[in-house]
Structure 1
Amino acid sequence: MARARSGDKGGTANIGLWARTDAGGAWLADVLTPDEVRALLPEAADLPVTVHPLPNLRAVNVVIDGLLGRGVAASTRFDPQAKALGEWLRGRVLDIPEALL
């Protein structure tokens, strides 16, 4: 339903998610609230999460401050540059409207 790309800027993880249709993009923007991102990614439960809707791109940008600690060189995460974080988020379970599948 959605595609993802992710990466890092210091200790901040950045995830871009986009849909193929306007309806899919609107659904992403509606569902992916900061609280929902924290629920889907428990490692972000206590961190500042910002979600930026990008309706003209059918997309959202998710920023998680502090997820990568002090940055790639100091991170103990299995994915210190957050390159797989978008796929990790896409792998979570959500109820998706049948019309979007």
Structure 2
Amino acid sequence: MTATAMLYQFAHGRTGDKGNRSNISVIAYDARDFGHLVEHVTEDAVRTLFRDRQPTAVTRYLVPSLQAMNFVIDGVLDGGVNDALNLDAHGKALSFRVLQLQIPLPPRLAAPGT
């Protein structure tokens, strides 16, 4: 069995929103973990995470010089912050959902044989 942890243990997030688009950046705390995060925090993982909000597109941009990735998620804000009947459709709230993704422990932290 592979040991897992929450993404927020290895990265923090920054967000923005405009209209019906949210952009969520995930920034590794430790540069040694960036490759591992790239492997496990994918467009598919984020699309699945937000399937209840039915995004029309999820695009990931990598920024290796900052050990960061940026997800642009279209159609996820219920029409936009000003149009949404949702109590809090802002990207800031959505970033916490991403940071709660379960990912395998990075190799440097995994016990031998896991």
- What's the TM-score bracket when you normalise by the shorter of the two chains? 0.7 to 0.9
The offset of 1:45, in angstroms, is 5.0
Cα separation, 2, equivalents of 1:59 and 1:2: 9
Give the 3 Å change call, closer, same or farther, for CA 87–54 of structure 1 in structure 2.
same
Over aligned residue pairs, what C-alpha RMSD do you find? 2.0
Structure 2 gaps of 5+ residues are 1-9
What residue number does 1:79 align with?
88
Say which of 50, 55, 60 aligns to 1:51. Answer: 60
Structure exhibiting the larger radius of gyration computed from Cα positions: 2
TM-score in terms of structure 2 length:
0.75
What residue number does 1:37 align with?
46
Cα separation, 2, equivalents of 1:46 and 1:65: 6
Amino acid at match of 2:47: R
Cα separation, 1, equivalents of 2:11 and 2:64: 14
The offset of 1:98, in angstroms, is 4.9
Count residues with an aligned counterpart: 101
TM-score in terms of structure 1 length:
0.83
Amino acid at match of 1:25: F
Would you say 1:69 and 2:78 are equivalent positions?
A: yes
